[in-house]
Structure 1
């Protein structure tokens, strides 16, 4: 079944839109303006991030990682992470299980 979810602003310069979900898995788009930040946080979900466009610096468990289009990586459960956008772009994140707080 195809569901459409609204795009919602989160942090300044960041827009989140759930693309698809089930109880076991969720896909979410995050659009970032240059200089926007995803604040440091952690959650119990395993997260996989794909860089569709733009450039970002991620901090994951205290280590910095610069990523560009086509890059992807996994953030383990409960790892403290966040990012800063160097060039405007979009991230596609998947979460397992679903992030009910995004619905």
Structure 2
């Protein structure tokens, strides 16, 4: 018998007009979908994980350290470990974030 590679995770209210759903994970890597309502806020925070973000839909204003950037569908970027970052959705949108290592606090 083989173990299934597919796990299903529920959507979780993350607050400020944001929901979060883990798409896949392993100890070394995690993929997470974040859905934002217009004006939803990803509060400024930092963590030891390296984060790569892909904008699936919507437009966002991201703050990473002292820099503020506008991002649109199809764009992606990396947030270094321990960098303070957050965002505001300028319209309804979806971000796909990957974290290394896995964010155990999301499980």
TM-score range, shorter chain: over 0.9
Structure with the largest fraction of strand = 1
Please report the RMSD computed on the Cα atoms of aligned residues, expressed in angstroms. Answer: 0.4
Counterparts in 2 of 1:7-86, with a 5 A limit? 7-86=11-90
**Among candidates 89, 96, 100, match of residue 96 of structure 1:** 100
What's the CA shift for 1:79? 0.0
Task: Please state how far the C-alpha of 1:62 moved relative to its aligned partner.
Answer: 1.5
Count of residue correspondences: 103
Which deviations, in whole Å up to 9, do the C-alpha atoms of 1:14-52 show, x marking residues without a partner?
000000000000000000000010000000000000000
Runs of 4+ with >4 A deviation: none
Counterparts of 1:57 and 1:47, CA distance in 2: 17
* TM-score, normalised by the number of residues in structure 1: 0.99
Please say which structure displays the higher CA radius of gyration.
2
The gaps in structure 2 that reach 5 residues or longer are none
User: CA-to-partner distance for each residue in 1:55-82, whole Å, 9 max, x for gaps?
Assistant: 0000001100100000000000000000
